[in-house]
């Protein structure tokens, strides 16, 4: 039997997620992405196998977005098992079509995006919904009405927790005060947003990490992966590292690395 990865609670949300989450951009989009090598979208059989493997490894957090092409629709059709097994996170604010991204953070667009994601994912509720920032974090927070709209949708029972995938230090620090959770960038080459994670820890705001392996530009196996996971998961404010892959071997290796890092930390704590 496969040993499941540990779980952590996302801040004050009460939602438990595996310390490794599965990013799914590669299930639905292979244009305009920043990976070091091109790739073909996996067929339905490969997606089913990948999602089944994720479940076996104890991964329950699935991260998707309207900007990820057909990812939401494919997950809605192919995600195995009972809905309660999964923590489904999606986003609002960005669309991708005809090779270009378009952004709309207005209340009407946010509401329409959530309703569409519910249909695409074939679910009655979304666990996590994040604003998919275009980089103008403070402008979105202060003037778009996107976060206020997500708060209303949460009260209506459409989603369990909301937040923002931020791109700036100032935006992250402000969003930490207003959101249930954030998604921020942190890897061995980029630690500018660690103060945001520290602040989230103080406030009880959940944290998801994106680009933990620098969008595939870090090595996909061996010490660099374990070094990254060890540093990031050592922060008590981090709930889960969202790593995208369509390679089963990489998914297994990432789960092994996450388990090993946390097992080592636990042993050290016991020795102390």
Cα angle value 3/6/12 (rounded, 5°): 155
Mean pLDDT, all residues of the chain: 93
Could you give all domains of the chain from N- to C-terminal order, each with its CATH number? 7-271 (3.20.20.100)
What pLDDT, in 10s, does the model give residues 125-163? Answer: 999 999 999 999 999 999 999 999 999 999 999 999 999
Q: What is the DSSP letter of 187?
A: B
pLDDT at 28 over 90: yes
Provide, rounded to the nearest whole percent, the portion of the chain with pLDDT above 70.
93
Task: Quote the pLDDT of residue 203.
Answer: 98
Instruction: Judge whether 68 counts as a catalytic residue.
Output: yes
pTM value is 0.93
Task: Given the residues 17, 68, 126, 160, select the one marked as catalytic.
Answer: 68
Give the pLDDT mean for 67-71: 96
Give the pLDDT mean for 67-89: 97
What pLDDT, in 10s, does the model give residues 223-261? Answer: 789 999 999 999 999 999 999 999 999 999 999 999 998
Encoded tokens for 1? 């039997």
* Residue indicated by tokens 């954030």: 182
Task: Quote the pLDDT of residue 222.
Answer: 52
> Strand pairing partners for 95?
102
Q: Find out whether 244 and 69 touch, Cβ atoms under 8 Å.
A: no
């Amino acid at each position: 039997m496969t040993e499941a990865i540990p779980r952590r609670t996302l801040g004050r949300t009460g939602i438990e997620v595996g310390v490794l989450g599965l990013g799914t951009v590669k299930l639905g989009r292979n244009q305009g992405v920043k990976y070091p090598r091109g790739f073909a979208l996996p067929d339905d059989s490969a997606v089913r196998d990948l999602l089944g493997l994720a479940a076996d490894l104890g991964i329950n957090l699935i991260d998707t977005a309207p900007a990820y092409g057909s990812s939401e629709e494919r997950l809605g059709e192919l995600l195995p098992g009972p809905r309660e097994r999964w923590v489904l996170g999606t986003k609002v604010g960005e669309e991708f079509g005809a090779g270009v991204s378009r952004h709309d953070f207005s209340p009407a667009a946010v509401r329409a995006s959530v309703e569409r994601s519910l249909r695409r994912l074939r679910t009655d509720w979304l666990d996590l919904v994040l604003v998919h920032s275009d980089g103008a974090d403070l402008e979105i927070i202060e003037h778009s009405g996107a976060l206020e709209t997500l708060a209303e949708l949460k009260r209506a029972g459409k989603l369990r927790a909301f937040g923002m995938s931020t791109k700036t230090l100032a935006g992250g620090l402000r969003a930490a005060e207003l959101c249930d959770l954030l998604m921020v960038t942190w890897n061995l080459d980029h630690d500018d947003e660690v103060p945001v994670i520290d602040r989230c820890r103080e406030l009880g705001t959940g944290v998801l990490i994106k680009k933990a392996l620098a969008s595939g530009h870090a090595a996909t196996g061996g010490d660099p992966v374990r070094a990254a996971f060890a540093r990031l998961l050592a922060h008590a404010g981090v709930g889960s590292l969202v790593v995208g892959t369509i390679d089963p071997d990489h998914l297994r290796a990432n789960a092994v690395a996450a388990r090993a890092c946390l097992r080592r930390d636990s042993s050290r704590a016991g020795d102390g």
